[in-house]
Structure 1
């Protein structure tokens, strides 16, 4: 086991975020302690970078952020790398999403996520209460918040740099049908897909994922790829788990994820699982006594 990794990568949803989409003060505390003792701590999330500030406590800091499943990397306010979806792909995917009435969010760099006004009715219908039992509370709350205030509804696509697409369906049948449709589109324009729940799928540039983002971040800090640890909970964390030295799944992760990692936290994301794991197994004894 990596008892004192040099670099730690933390997923957000289902990991440092509880199911109400908040990072606790205890999680901030342990990250601060680790960094004060010379360890590097990074966020590696499927979320866009612009979403993070509303989810974390005041004063929350990490050494770097890998966002949109590896599409972009930031250190403080500096962009270390940013991949962008081809505009041709953006247009084609939105056309097909409208045809199949699939809820979508397109994330431009440096601007609010967008969707087209003409698609608003079917998208609102997709996230109307009641919440389907199989949809996670955090994902449901995020979609309702997006519909009410986070999405910038446009008459046409604006911008030319896009970090990712996010797609959601209230039934597993519909999202699986959409995944099949994406595979057809991929025959003409290559891209990578990522899944973080049974009700979503995301689209990024081909051959981009959390692991490719981690490699770029390690290179930027002149860190080796040994003595690295990652904590996550879902399928979009699999490339990250395969890359790092020591992979840790949350207690709330699926059995499929737990079977392929090196360790599992004792507590869930709602019970500060990351804090307890890092405090008891990673933090040096000198920190534990503080």
Structure 2
């Protein structure tokens, strides 16, 4: 039951983030209020940890962050757990992405995301205007920002710790073909994939997802799944929905997500749905 809740895990995109990729001050304030009442509040996101600060209001605080779909966990600036893609997998996937002309961003820990210079021209072409109708404005704006400011166009991949790959295609047909290519590669190298929209797919270490990250975070705080709630809106939230005691889907979530949830918010992410839900259930 919801009354047993001692920990809440919140997705970002489509949940606490609106379609302008911002967390409202109302959401910050309700998180503060819930935490004052002794309930731990966490972020569980597909985004890299380094992205969060710029998307949230000044003074935004949570008890911990599960980032990159369960690849890394932070409490404050301390790393609680971390997984890394192998260099062999990274090099293999980049070569395949180039052969298939698939837009990719590789996320090293602690440094800007990477796309190789030799892949820049087709990557930029994927983000050409006009925006495809089926691509969400928040994802499109994020890709535009990545191309203009976020990506480090590198001559070669350096380092040996990487949190994830993000792949995007302007057509569903192309991204679905790429998913099939990745499924074939899984027969040779084990890894996990996750999707949050019909135009993307992300790649992580095998058997890692939001649920595994949440389990590690709960263990750190001495909490259990039976005391935990999660709020989300997309396919990459399903593992955590299956794990927690009480799963809440956003009003803007697809029906397939709402069907597996225990409850649905009355308002969308653009209407401060998480603020209203937490206020009603925990503050009154």
TM-score normalised per structure 2: 0.99
1:179-206 per-residue CA deviation (whole Å, 9 max, x = no partner) reads 0000111111000000000000000000
Query: Is 1:194 equivalent to 2:194 in the alignment?
Result: yes
**In structure 2, what is the Cα distance between the partners aligned to 1:251 and 1:272?**
11
TM-score normalised per structure 1: 0.97
**In structure 1, what is the Cα distance between the partners aligned to 2:17 and 2:244?**
21
Partner of 1:228: 228
Contact between 1:4 and 1:282, CA under 8 Å: does it hold in 2?
no
Unmatched runs of 5 consecutive residues or more in structure 1: none
**In structure 2, what is the Cα distance between the partners aligned to 1:15 and 1:200?**
18
Partner of 1:8: 8
Query: Is 1:249 equivalent to 2:252 in the alignment?
Result: no
SS state at 1:226 partner: helix
Shift of 1:37: 1.0
1:107-134 per-residue CA deviation (whole Å, 9 max, x = no partner) reads 0000000110000000000011111110
SS state at 2:3 partner: coil
Would you say how many aligned residue pairs link Structure 1 and Structure 2?
A: 284
**In structure 2, what is the Cα distance between the partners aligned to 1:154 and 1:277?**
44
Q: Which moved more, 1:55-64 or 1:2-11?
A: 2-11
SS state at 1:204 partner: strand
Unmatched runs of 5 consecutive residues or more in structure 2: none
1:69-98 per-residue CA deviation (whole Å, 9 max, x = no partner) reads 000000000000110001100000000000
**In structure 2, what is the Cα distance between the partners aligned to 1:243 and 1:137?**
30
**In structure 1, what is the Cα distance between the partners aligned to 2:229 and 2:282?**
10
1:212-252 per-residue CA deviation (whole Å, 9 max, x = no partner) reads 00000001011122121000000000000000000000000
1:17-96 map, 5 Å: 17-96=17-96
1:123-162 map, 5 Å: 123-162=123-162
Structure 1: which 4+ aligned runs deviate by more than 3 Å? Answer: none
